[in-house]
Structure 1
Amino acid sequence: MITMAVILFSCSGDSAPSDNSNPDPTPDPDPTVKVTYNDDIQSVVSANCTSCHGNPTTNSAPMSLVTYDQVKNNIDIIISRVNSSANPMPPTGQLPTATRSLFQQWKDGGLLEN
């Protein structure tokens, strides 16, 4: 699954050169692929969230996101914040569309752990 995510993140559906130095990868993740916490979500959260949402939390983060249950129980907040253009998480800027879509795909697929 990680290999699929890497492929999705590195591919671009547009063959024309882009002036955007940080383009959003496309296409979005394949909706027929099973997204799991262990294979897909945990690495995104670890790389982008746990510096503040660790245990203990830092920078006034309201919750820890280091375990499957913590991420699962806060998925609606996570989806809302990673998709917010006005107040995005992480605070350094929005994640690529494909990465943000993984959270919704994981929720829609039943929040599978493995």
Structure 2
Amino acid sequence: MRNNANGATGWAIGRALELLILSLLLSCSKTPVDPPVTLPATVSFQRDIQPIFSTNCSLSGCHLSPNPKGNVDLSASVAYSQLWKHQLVDTLHPEQSVLYIQMNSVSDPMPPTGRLPAGTIALVYKWIQQKAPNN
């Protein structure tokens, strides 16, 4: 009988350790993955790009008059002209666009509150690839 009790105790301890390890593994956080995004065939500045700026960039203390950071005002009435005035978009080499580089930066992302989702950055990149029209 004594062997059975020790065997049962050993089994119970082993099982408890297995459950503990399993719960620790399941509780580990995983790096979030952006959901797949379907980009529109034609990216519109007014419909797709300006809302990104309005929500994430043209905020008080950032890219909004009267004292926008980097002297770049991304409010709806002037954002498009500001992108060109400050040479933030390079339609010949979209990957070299300052706008795209800043949005993709790991060390100094724009917006400074954190990197935008990959789908949002891809949308901006596609717009630049499409010659960044004011549509």
Match of 1:39 in 2: 47
Partners of 1:20 and 1:45 lie apart in 2 by: 29
How far residue 24 of structure 1 moved from its aligned partner, in angstroms, is 4.1
Match of 1:111 in 2: 132
Partners of 1:57 and 1:24 lie apart in 2 by: 35
Match of 1:56 in 2: 66
Cα RMSD for the two superposed structures: 2.0
Structure 2 residue matching 1:90: 3-state secondary structure: coil
Name the structure with the higher helix share: 2
Partners of 1:29 and 1:84 lie apart in 2 by: 23
Counterparts of residues 1-114 of structure 1 (less than 5 Å): 19-20=29-30, 23-30=32-39, 33-51=41-59, 52-58=62-68, 61-62=69-70, 63-66=72-75, 67=78, 68-72=80-84, 73-75=87-89, 76-114=97-135
- Residue ranges of structure 2 left out of the alignment (5+ in a row): 1-28, 90-96
- Residue ranges of structure 1 left out of the alignment (5+ in a row): 1-18
Q: 1:49 to 1:69 in 2, by over 3 A?
A: same
How far residue 33 of structure 1 moved from its aligned partner, in angstroms, is 1.2
String of CA shifts for 1:52-96, please: whole Å, max 9, x gaps. 1112234xx102222211134423221111100011011111000
How far residue 113 of structure 1 moved from its aligned partner, in angstroms, is 1.6
Identity fraction in percent: 32
Structure whose alpha-carbon radius of gyration is higher: 2
Q: 1:85 to 1:43 in 2, by over 3 A?
A: same
Q: What one-letter code is carried by the residue in structure 1 that aligns with 2:121?
A: R
Q: Which runs of 4+ in 1 moved over 3 A?
A: none
Greater shift, 73-82 or 33-42, is seen at 73-82
Partners of 1:105 and 1:46 lie apart in 2 by: 19
Q: Count matched residues.
A: 92
